[in-house]
Structure 1
Amino acid sequence: MPKPEHALPESPVRWPLASVCAIVFVAWLALSWPWLSGTLTIPWDAKAHFHPQLQFLADAWHKGLSPFWTPYVFSGSPQVADPQSLIFSPSFALIALLNPAPDFRWSDGAVLGTLLLGALSIVLIFRDRGWHPAGAVVAALAFAFGAAAAWRIQHVGQVLSLGYFAVTLVLLSRALERGSIGYGFAAGIVSGFMVLGRDQVALLAVYVLAGLVIAAILMAQSPWRAFRASLPPLIAGTLGAVLVATIPILLTAFIAQESNRPVIDFVEAGKGSLHPAALLTGLFANLYGAAGPLADFWGAPSPAWEARFGPLSLFLARNMSQLYLGLLPMGLILTVGLVRGALWRREIVPLTVATLIVLLFALGRYTPAFRVLFELPGISFYRRPADALFILGALLALLGGYLTHLVMTGTAPKARPWQIAFEALIFTGALALALWLAWTVGRIPVATISLVIAALCGMLSLGGLIAAHGLAKRGSALAATLVLAATLTIDLAVNNGPSESTALPAKMYDVLRKDSSNDTIALLKRETARTAAPDRRDRIELAGIDFHWPNASLVHDLDNTLGYNPLRLGLYTKATGAGDHVALPDQRTFSPLMPGYRSLLADMLGLRFIATGVPVEQIDKRLKPGDLKQIARTKDAFVYENPHALPRVLLVTDARKADFDAILKTGAWPEGFDPRRTVLLDRDPPPLPTGPLGPDSVAIRDYGTTTVTLAAETARGGYLVLNDVWHHWWQVEIDGKPAELLRANVLFRAVVVPPGKSTVRFVFRPLDGLWQDIVAHLRKPPANQPG
Structure 2
Amino acid sequence: MPPHDASDTLTTPSRWPLAAVAAIVILAWVSLSWPWLSGMVTIPWDAKAHFQPQLQFLAEAWHSGRSPFWTPYVFAGSPQIADPQSLIFSPPFALIAALEPVPGFRLGDGAVLGTLLAGALAFVVIFRDRGWHPTGAVVAALAFAFGAAAAWRIQHIGQVLSLGYFAITLALIARALERGSIGYGFAAGLVAGFMVLGRDQVALLGVYVLAGLVIAAIAMAPRPWQALKTSLLPLLAGAVGALLVATVPILLTAVLAEGSNRPAIDLIGAGKGSLHPAALLTGLFANLYGAAGPLENFWGAPSPAFEARFGPQDLYLARNMSQLYLGLIPMGLILTIGVVRGALLRREIVALSVAALLVLIFALGRFTPGFRLLFELPGISFYRRPADALFILGALLALLGGYLTHLVMTDAAPRAKPWQRVVEAAIFTGALGLALWLAWTVGRLSVAAVPLVTALLCGVLAMGGLVAARGLALRGSGLAAAIVLAATLTVDLSVNNGPSESTALPAQDYDVLRADSTNETIALLKSETAATAGPDRRDRIELAGIGFHWPNASLVHRLDNTLGYNPLRLGIYSKATGAGDHVALPDQRTFSPLMPGYRSLLADMLGLRFIATGVPVEQIDKALKPGDLTLIARTPDAYVYENPRALPRVLLVTKAETADFDAILATGQWPSGFDPRRTVLLDRALPPLPRDPLATGRPAGTAAPAGANPPGQSPAGSVRIADYGTTEVTLRVEAPQGGYVVLNDVWHPWWQVEIDGAPAEILRANVLFRAVAVPPGRSTVRFVFKPFRGLFQDLGKRLRAARAHG
TM-score (norm 1): 0.99
Q: Which residue of 2 aligns with 1:415?
A: 416
Residue 248 (structure 2) pairs with residue 263 (structure 1): no
Structure 1 letter corresponding to 2:623: R
How far residue 689 of structure 1 moved from its aligned partner, in angstroms, is 4.3
Tell me the distance in 1 between the aligned counterparts of 2:775 and 2:412: 84
What whole-Å deviation, never above 9, does each CA across 1:143-169 have from its counterpart, x for those lacking one?
000000000000000000000000000
What SS does the corresponding residue of 1:311 show, helix, strand or coil? coil
Q: Which residue of 1 aligns with 2:721?
A: 700
What SS does the corresponding residue of 2:529 show, helix, strand or coil? helix
Structure 2 letter corresponding to 1:731: Q
Tell me the distance in 2 between the aligned counterparts of 1:422 and 1:575: 61
Q: Which residue of 2 aligns with 1:752?
A: 773
How far residue 293 of structure 1 moved from its aligned partner, in angstroms, is 0.4
- 1:555–1:11 CA distance, 2 compared to 1 (3 A): closer
What SS does the corresponding residue of 2:502 show, helix, strand or coil? coil
Tell me the distance in 2 between the aligned counterparts of 1:12 and 1:686: 73
Q: Which residue of 2 aligns with 1:167?
A: 168
How far residue 780 of structure 1 moved from its aligned partner, in angstroms, is 2.1
Tell me the distance in 2 between the aligned counterparts of 1:682 and 1:625: 36
Tell me the distance in 2 between the aligned counterparts of 1:690 and 1:160: 56
Tell me the distance in 2 between the aligned counterparts of 1:264 and 1:381: 6
Tell me the distance in 2 between the aligned counterparts of 1:331 and 1:648: 63
Q: Is the 8 A contact 2:691 2:776 kept in 1?
A: no
Tell me the distance in 1 between the aligned counterparts of 2:101 and 2:541: 24
Q: Is the 8 A contact 2:702 2:777 kept in 1?
A: no
Structure 1 letter corresponding to 2:176: A
Residue 465 (structure 2) pairs with residue 472 (structure 1): no
What SS does the corresponding residue of 1:639 show, helix, strand or coil? strand
Tell me the distance in 1 between the aligned counterparts of 2:688 and 2:800: 30
Q: Which residue of 1 aligns with 2:12?
A: 10
Structure 2 letter corresponding to 1:8: L
Q: Which residue of 2 aligns with 1:585?
A: 586
Tell me the distance in 2 between the aligned counterparts of 1:418 and 1:424: 10
Tell me the distance in 2 between the aligned counterparts of 1:749 and 1:410: 72
Structure 1 letter corresponding to 2:788: L
Tell me the distance in 2 between the aligned counterparts of 1:764 and 1:248: 16
Structure 2 letter corresponding to 1:108: D
What whole-Å deviation, never above 9, does each CA across 1:695-722 have from its counterpart, x for those lacking one?
2010000000000000000111000000
Tell me the distance in 1 between the aligned counterparts of 2:805 and 2:55: 47
What whole-Å deviation, never above 9, does each CA across 1:575-628 have from its counterpart, x for those lacking one?
000000100000000000000001000000000000000000000001000000
What are the residue-to-residue correspondences of 1:273-672 with 2, within 5 Å? 273-672=274-673
Structure 2 letter corresponding to 1:694: A
Tell me the distance in 2 between the aligned counterparts of 1:211 and 1:687: 59
What whole-Å deviation, never above 9, does each CA across 1:228-252 have from its counterpart, x for those lacking one?
0000000000000000000000000
Tell me the distance in 2 between the aligned counterparts of 1:35 and 1:310: 39
How far residue 639 of structure 1 moved from its aligned partner, in angstroms, is 0.2
Q: Is the 8 A contact 1:693 1:716 kept in 2?
A: no
Q: Which residue of 2 aligns with 1:21?
A: 22
Q: Which residue of 2 aligns with 1:219?
A: 220
Tell me the distance in 2 between the aligned counterparts of 1:3 and 1:324: 27
What are the residue-to-residue correspondences of 1:97-176 with 2, within 5 Å? 97-176=98-177
Tell me the distance in 1 between the aligned counterparts of 2:798 and 2:584: 38
Tell me the distance in 2 between the aligned counterparts of 1:312 and 1:393: 24
Equivalent position to 2:797, from 759, 776, 783: 776
Q: Which residue of 2 aligns with 1:761?
A: 782
What SS does the corresponding residue of 2:657 show, helix, strand or coil? strand
Tell me the distance in 2 between the aligned counterparts of 1:58 and 1:31: 28
Tell me the distance in 2 between the aligned counterparts of 1:571 and 1:447: 47
Q: Which residue of 2 aligns with 1:739?
A: 760
Tell me the distance in 2 between the aligned counterparts of 1:725 and 1:668: 19
Q: Which runs of 5+ in 1 are unaligned?
A: none
How far residue 304 of structure 1 moved from its aligned partner, in angstroms, is 0.2
Tell me the distance in 2 between the aligned counterparts of 1:217 and 1:780: 41
How far residue 10 of structure 1 moved from its aligned partner, in angstroms, is 1.7
How far residue 12 of structure 1 moved from its aligned partner, in angstroms, is 5.9
Tell me the distance in 1 between the aligned counterparts of 2:610 and 2:443: 48
Tell me the distance in 2 between the aligned counterparts of 1:686 and 1:226: 63
Q: Is the 8 A contact 2:691 2:775 kept in 1?
A: no
Tell me the distance in 1 between the aligned counterparts of 2:801 and 2:510: 49
Tell me the distance in 2 between the aligned counterparts of 1:3 and 1:674: 75
Tell me the distance in 1 between the aligned counterparts of 2:801 and 2:584: 42
Q: Is the 8 A contact 2:722 2:732 kept in 1?
A: yes
How far residue 39 of structure 1 moved from its aligned partner, in angstroms, is 1.2
Cα RMSD, aligned residues only: 1.1
What are the residue-to-residue correspondences of 1:29-44 with 2, within 5 Å? 29-44=30-45
Q: Is the 8 A contact 2:13 2:131 kept in 1?
A: no
Tell me the distance in 2 between the aligned counterparts of 1:50 and 1:249: 20
Structure 2 letter corresponding to 1:6: D
What SS does the corresponding residue of 1:40 show, helix, strand or coil? coil
What whole-Å deviation, never above 9, does each CA across 1:12-63 have from its counterpart, x for those lacking one?
66x3111110000000000000001111000000000000000000000000
Q: Is the 8 A contact 2:89 2:194 kept in 1?
A: yes
| Count, aligned residues | 784
Q: Is the 8 A contact 1:653 1:719 kept in 2?
A: yes
Structure 2 letter corresponding to 1:663: I
Q: Is the 8 A contact 1:689 1:716 kept in 2?
A: no
Amino-acid identity (%): 78
How far residue 11 of structure 1 moved from its aligned partner, in angstroms, is 6.5
Tell me the distance in 1 between the aligned counterparts of 2:702 and 2:434: 84
How far residue 424 of structure 1 moved from its aligned partner, in angstroms, is 0.2
Tell me the distance in 1 between the aligned counterparts of 2:13 and 2:259: 57
Tell me the distance in 1 between the aligned counterparts of 2:272 and 2:798: 34
Structure 2 letter corresponding to 1:734: I
Tell me the distance in 2 between the aligned counterparts of 1:115 and 1:201: 14
TM-score (norm 2): 0.96
How far residue 776 of structure 1 moved from its aligned partner, in angstroms, is 1.3
What whole-Å deviation, never above 9, does each CA across 1:705-744 have from its counterpart, x for those lacking one?
0000000001110000000000010000000000000000
What whole-Å deviation, never above 9, does each CA across 1:315-334 have from its counterpart, x for those lacking one?
00000000000000000000
What whole-Å deviation, never above 9, does each CA across 1:164-216 have from its counterpart, x for those lacking one?
00000000000000000000000000000000000000000000000000000
What whole-Å deviation, never above 9, does each CA across 1:641-671 have from its counterpart, x for those lacking one?
0000000000000000000000000000000
Q: Is the 8 A contact 2:13 2:128 kept in 1?
A: no
Structure 1 letter corresponding to 2:140: A
Tell me the distance in 2 between the aligned counterparts of 1:786 and 1:596: 44
What SS does the corresponding residue of 2:8 show, helix, strand or coil? coil
Q: Is the 8 A contact 1:711 1:760 kept in 2?
A: yes
What SS does the corresponding residue of 1:598 show, helix, strand or coil? coil
How far residue 688 of structure 1 moved from its aligned partner, in angstroms, is 2.5
What whole-Å deviation, never above 9, does each CA across 1:416-435 have from its counterpart, x for those lacking one?
11111110000000000000
What SS does the corresponding residue of 1:624 show, helix, strand or coil? coil
- 1:344–1:528 CA distance, 2 compared to 1 (3 A): same
Tell me the distance in 2 between the aligned counterparts of 1:341 and 1:206: 27
Structure 1 letter corresponding to 2:490: T
Tell me the distance in 1 between the aligned counterparts of 2:203 and 2:761: 40
Tell me the distance in 1 between the aligned counterparts of 2:246 and 2:13: 39
Q: Which residue of 1 aligns with 2:242?
A: 241
